[in-house]
Protein backbone atom coordinates (compact mmCIF):
# COMPACT_ATOMS: atom_id res chain seq x y z
CA UNK A 1 0.00 0.00 0.00
CA UNK A 2 1.41 3.37 -1.05
CA UNK A 3 1.84 5.92 1.80
CA UNK A 4 -0.30 9.02 1.55
CA UNK A 5 1.38 12.18 0.36
CA UNK A 6 1.73 15.01 2.89
CA UNK A 7 -0.80 17.80 2.36
CA UNK A 8 -0.10 20.32 -0.38
CA UNK A 9 0.67 23.94 0.44
CA UNK A 10 -1.49 25.77 -2.11
CA UNK A 11 -1.20 25.39 -5.87
CA UNK A 12 1.77 23.39 -7.12
CA UNK A 13 3.12 21.96 -10.34
CA UNK A 14 4.03 18.37 -11.17
CA UNK A 15 7.66 18.76 -10.04
CA UNK A 16 6.43 20.04 -6.66
CA UNK A 17 4.20 16.97 -6.30
CA UNK A 18 7.22 14.73 -6.91
CA UNK A 19 9.31 16.58 -4.33
CA UNK A 20 6.52 16.45 -1.76
CA UNK A 21 6.34 12.69 -2.20
CA UNK A 22 10.10 12.26 -1.97
CA UNK A 23 10.32 11.15 -5.59
CA UNK A 24 12.51 13.98 -6.87
CA UNK A 25 15.87 14.35 -5.15
CA UNK A 26 17.01 17.69 -3.81
CA UNK A 27 20.29 19.16 -5.01
CA UNK A 28 23.14 17.92 -2.77
CA UNK A 29 24.94 20.54 -0.71
CA UNK A 30 28.39 19.05 -1.14
CA UNK A 31 30.65 19.11 -4.14
CA UNK A 32 30.21 15.75 -5.88
CA UNK A 33 32.24 16.58 -8.97
CA UNK A 34 35.43 14.77 -7.97
CA UNK A 35 37.13 13.15 -10.93
CA UNK A 36 33.90 12.56 -12.91
CA UNK A 37 34.06 13.60 -16.54
CA UNK A 38 30.46 14.32 -17.55
CA UNK A 39 29.13 13.36 -20.95
CA UNK A 40 28.23 16.36 -23.10
CA UNK A 41 25.84 16.67 -26.02
CA UNK A 42 26.25 19.37 -28.68
CA UNK A 43 25.29 21.08 -31.08
CA UNK A 44 21.62 22.13 -31.52
CA UNK A 45 19.87 24.73 -33.66
CA UNK A 46 16.37 25.91 -34.48
CA UNK A 47 14.92 28.47 -36.87
CA UNK A 48 11.57 29.58 -38.20
CA UNK A 49 10.77 28.74 -41.81
CA UNK A 50 7.72 29.14 -44.04
CA UNK A 51 5.57 26.41 -42.45
CA UNK A 52 6.63 26.64 -38.80
CA UNK A 53 9.86 25.96 -36.93
CA UNK A 54 12.66 23.45 -37.58
CA UNK A 55 14.75 21.99 -34.75
CA UNK A 56 17.91 19.95 -35.35
CA UNK A 57 20.77 18.44 -33.39
CA UNK A 58 23.87 16.49 -34.28
CA UNK A 59 24.20 12.94 -32.90
CA UNK A 60 27.59 13.02 -31.13
CA UNK A 61 28.01 12.77 -27.35
CA UNK A 62 31.48 13.29 -25.88
CA UNK A 63 33.35 13.05 -22.58
CA UNK A 64 36.43 15.27 -22.70
CA UNK A 65 38.17 14.18 -25.93
CA UNK A 66 36.40 10.81 -26.10
CA UNK A 67 33.40 10.10 -28.36
CA UNK A 68 30.94 8.28 -26.09
CA UNK A 69 28.11 7.77 -28.58
CA UNK A 70 27.43 8.74 -32.18
CA UNK A 71 23.63 8.27 -32.28
CA UNK A 72 22.39 10.43 -29.39
CA UNK A 73 18.92 11.95 -29.69
CA UNK A 74 19.12 15.63 -28.73
CA UNK A 75 15.69 16.74 -30.00
CA UNK A 76 12.96 15.46 -27.67
CA UNK A 77 9.18 15.63 -28.08
CA UNK A 78 7.44 17.07 -25.00
CA UNK A 79 3.87 17.19 -26.27
CA UNK A 80 2.04 17.26 -29.61
CA UNK A 81 3.33 20.73 -30.52
CA UNK A 82 6.46 21.22 -28.37
CA UNK A 83 10.11 20.18 -28.72
CA UNK A 84 13.07 20.53 -26.38
CA UNK A 85 16.55 20.36 -27.90
CA UNK A 86 19.44 19.71 -25.52
CA UNK A 87 23.03 20.87 -25.29
CA UNK A 88 24.95 19.92 -22.18
CA UNK A 89 24.81 16.84 -19.95
CA UNK A 90 22.33 14.34 -21.48
CA UNK A 91 21.53 12.58 -18.18
CA UNK A 92 20.27 15.83 -16.66
CA UNK A 93 18.61 17.06 -19.85
CA UNK A 94 16.71 13.81 -20.49
CA UNK A 95 15.43 13.84 -16.90
CA UNK A 96 14.31 17.46 -17.35
CA UNK A 97 12.50 16.48 -20.54
CA UNK A 98 10.69 13.63 -18.75
CA UNK A 99 9.63 15.89 -15.88
CA UNK A 100 8.52 18.57 -18.33
CA UNK A 101 6.49 16.07 -20.38
CA UNK A 102 4.74 14.74 -17.28
CA UNK A 103 4.18 18.29 -16.01
CA UNK A 104 2.27 19.15 -19.18
CA UNK A 105 0.26 15.92 -18.93
CA UNK A 106 -0.43 16.48 -15.23
CA UNK A 107 -1.73 19.98 -15.90
CA UNK A 108 -3.89 18.85 -18.83
CA UNK A 109 -5.49 16.05 -16.82
CA UNK A 110 -6.05 18.03 -13.61
CA UNK A 111 -7.13 21.32 -15.19
CA UNK A 112 -8.88 19.77 -18.22
CA UNK A 113 -7.07 22.14 -20.57
CA UNK A 114 -3.66 22.64 -22.14
CA UNK A 115 -1.05 24.57 -20.21
CA UNK A 116 -0.59 28.08 -21.55
CA UNK A 117 2.41 28.95 -23.69
CA UNK A 118 3.86 31.14 -20.92
CA UNK A 119 3.37 28.31 -18.44
CA UNK A 120 5.27 25.85 -20.65
CA UNK A 121 8.16 28.25 -21.20
CA UNK A 122 8.45 29.07 -17.50
CA UNK A 123 8.21 25.42 -16.46
CA UNK A 124 11.48 24.69 -18.26
CA UNK A 125 13.03 27.85 -16.81
CA UNK A 126 12.14 26.63 -13.29
CA UNK A 127 13.72 23.22 -13.92
CA UNK A 128 16.94 24.94 -14.99
CA UNK A 129 16.94 27.14 -11.88
CA UNK A 130 16.38 24.07 -9.69
CA UNK A 131 19.44 22.51 -11.36
CA UNK A 132 21.67 25.47 -10.50
CA UNK A 133 23.33 23.61 -7.61
CA UNK A 134 24.68 20.98 -9.99
CA UNK A 135 25.77 23.66 -12.46
CA UNK A 136 27.83 25.37 -9.74
CA UNK A 137 29.50 22.04 -8.99
CA UNK A 138 30.57 21.67 -12.61
CA UNK A 139 28.16 18.82 -13.45
CA UNK A 140 24.68 18.79 -14.92
CA UNK A 141 24.98 21.89 -17.11
CA UNK A 142 22.11 22.08 -19.63
CA UNK A 143 21.51 24.88 -22.16
CA UNK A 144 18.33 23.95 -24.06
CA UNK A 145 16.17 25.31 -26.86
CA UNK A 146 12.38 25.11 -26.60
CA UNK A 147 10.19 25.34 -29.69
CA UNK A 148 6.42 25.17 -29.96
CA UNK A 149 3.49 26.16 -32.13
CA UNK A 150 1.16 28.81 -30.69
CA UNK A 151 -2.27 27.73 -31.93
CA UNK A 152 -3.95 30.91 -30.68
CA UNK A 153 -1.60 33.22 -32.59
CA UNK A 154 -1.17 30.63 -35.40
CA UNK A 155 2.59 31.05 -35.40
CA UNK A 156 5.72 29.19 -34.34
CA UNK A 157 7.52 30.31 -31.16
CA UNK A 158 11.17 29.73 -30.34
CA UNK A 159 13.00 30.21 -27.02
CA UNK A 160 16.56 29.67 -25.81
CA UNK A 161 17.87 29.62 -22.24
CA UNK A 162 21.06 30.04 -20.28
CA UNK A 163 22.21 27.51 -17.66
CA UNK A 164 20.59 29.54 -14.84
CA UNK A 165 17.13 29.48 -16.40
CA UNK A 166 16.91 32.90 -18.03
CA UNK A 167 14.66 32.65 -21.08
CA UNK A 168 14.86 34.59 -24.34
CA UNK A 169 12.53 34.49 -27.31
CA UNK A 170 14.32 34.21 -30.65
CA UNK A 171 12.99 36.24 -33.55
CA UNK A 172 14.36 34.04 -36.33
CA UNK A 173 16.88 31.46 -35.09
CA UNK A 174 18.79 30.10 -32.10
CA UNK A 175 21.74 27.76 -31.55
CA UNK A 176 23.59 26.48 -28.48
CA UNK A 177 26.45 24.09 -27.80
CA UNK A 178 30.13 24.05 -28.62
CA UNK A 179 29.54 24.42 -32.37
CA UNK A 180 26.87 27.10 -32.05
CA UNK A 181 29.17 29.95 -33.13
CA UNK A 182 29.63 28.47 -36.60
CA UNK A 183 25.92 27.57 -36.82
CA UNK A 184 24.81 31.10 -35.92
CA UNK A 185 27.19 32.53 -38.51
CA UNK A 186 25.71 30.31 -41.23
CA UNK A 187 22.12 31.10 -40.26
CA UNK A 188 22.82 34.83 -39.95
CA UNK A 189 24.46 34.93 -43.37
CA UNK A 190 21.61 33.00 -44.98
CA UNK A 191 18.97 35.13 -43.28
CA UNK A 192 20.62 38.43 -44.19
CA UNK A 193 22.30 37.85 -47.54
CA UNK A 194 21.14 34.46 -48.81
CA UNK A 195 18.73 33.77 -51.63
CA UNK A 196 15.75 34.31 -49.31
CA UNK A 197 15.17 34.95 -45.57
CA UNK A 198 14.78 31.94 -43.28
CA UNK A 199 11.05 32.57 -42.83
CA UNK A 200 10.48 32.15 -46.58
CA UNK A 201 12.30 28.84 -46.95
CA UNK A 202 10.27 25.82 -48.01
CA UNK A 203 10.59 22.61 -45.98
CA UNK A 204 13.28 20.96 -48.15
CA UNK A 205 15.31 24.17 -48.30
CA UNK A 206 15.13 24.51 -44.50
CA UNK A 207 16.23 20.89 -43.96
CA UNK A 208 19.18 21.27 -46.31
CA UNK A 209 20.27 24.49 -44.59
CA UNK A 210 20.17 22.79 -41.16
CA UNK A 211 22.33 19.93 -42.43
CA UNK A 212 24.85 22.31 -43.99
CA UNK A 213 25.01 24.43 -40.82
CA UNK A 214 25.77 21.40 -38.64
CA UNK A 215 28.30 20.11 -41.17
CA UNK A 216 30.01 23.52 -41.10
CA UNK A 217 30.18 23.39 -37.29
CA UNK A 218 31.59 19.85 -37.39
CA UNK A 219 34.43 20.97 -39.64
CA UNK A 220 35.93 23.07 -36.82
CA UNK A 221 34.43 21.60 -33.63
CA UNK A 222 35.37 18.02 -32.74
CA UNK A 223 32.40 17.69 -30.34
CA UNK A 224 29.91 18.20 -33.19
CA UNK A 225 29.12 15.14 -35.28
CA UNK A 226 27.68 16.73 -38.41
CA UNK A 227 26.89 14.28 -41.22
CA UNK A 228 28.72 10.94 -41.06
CA UNK A 229 28.83 9.91 -44.73
CA UNK A 230 30.64 6.63 -44.09
CA UNK A 231 28.16 5.34 -41.49
CA UNK A 232 25.13 7.11 -43.03
CA UNK A 233 24.37 8.92 -39.75
CA UNK A 234 22.42 12.14 -40.14
CA UNK A 235 21.41 14.72 -37.54
CA UNK A 236 18.01 14.49 -35.87
CA UNK A 237 15.72 16.98 -37.63
CA UNK A 238 12.13 17.65 -36.56
CA UNK A 239 9.62 20.28 -37.65
CA UNK A 240 6.63 21.79 -35.84
CA UNK A 241 3.71 23.14 -37.87
CA UNK A 242 0.01 23.65 -37.20
CA UNK A 243 -0.42 19.93 -37.96
CA UNK A 244 2.00 18.88 -35.21
CA UNK A 245 5.52 17.42 -35.07
CA UNK A 246 7.19 15.57 -37.94
CA UNK A 247 10.47 13.65 -37.69
CA UNK A 248 12.38 13.75 -40.98
CA UNK A 249 13.49 10.31 -42.25
CA UNK A 250 17.18 9.79 -42.95
CA UNK A 251 16.52 8.75 -46.56
CA UNK A 252 14.98 12.13 -47.30
CA UNK A 253 17.87 13.95 -45.66
CA UNK A 254 20.37 11.84 -47.61
CA UNK A 255 18.75 12.82 -50.92
CA UNK A 256 18.67 16.48 -49.95
CA UNK A 257 22.29 16.50 -48.77
CA UNK A 258 23.39 15.08 -52.10
CA UNK A 259 21.75 18.06 -53.82
CA UNK A 260 18.52 16.45 -55.05
CA UNK A 261 15.61 18.47 -53.72
CA UNK A 262 12.45 16.36 -53.62
Q: Which residues are catalytic?
A: 42
The sheet carrying 167-169 orders its strands as 75-79, 82-85, 145-150, 155-161, 167-169
Residue 85: phi and psi, rounded to 5, are -100, 140
Measured between alpha carbons, how far is 212 from 9 in angstroms, rounded to an integer? 51
Q: What proportions of the chain, in percent to the nearest 5, are helix, strand and coil?
A: 35, 25, 40
Residue closest to 85 by CA, chosen among 59, 119, 115:
59
Decide: helix, strand or coil at residue 100.
helix
Measured between alpha carbons, how far is 205 from 92 in angstroms, rounded to an integer? 33
Sequence length of the chain is 262
Amino acid sequence: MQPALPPAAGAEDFAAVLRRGGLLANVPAVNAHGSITPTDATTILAFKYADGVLVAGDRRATAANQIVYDRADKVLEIDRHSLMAIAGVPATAWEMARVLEHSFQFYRRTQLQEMSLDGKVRALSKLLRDNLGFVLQGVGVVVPIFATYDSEAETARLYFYDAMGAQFEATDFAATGSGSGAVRAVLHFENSWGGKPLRKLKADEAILLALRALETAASSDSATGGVDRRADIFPIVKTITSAGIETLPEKRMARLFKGKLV
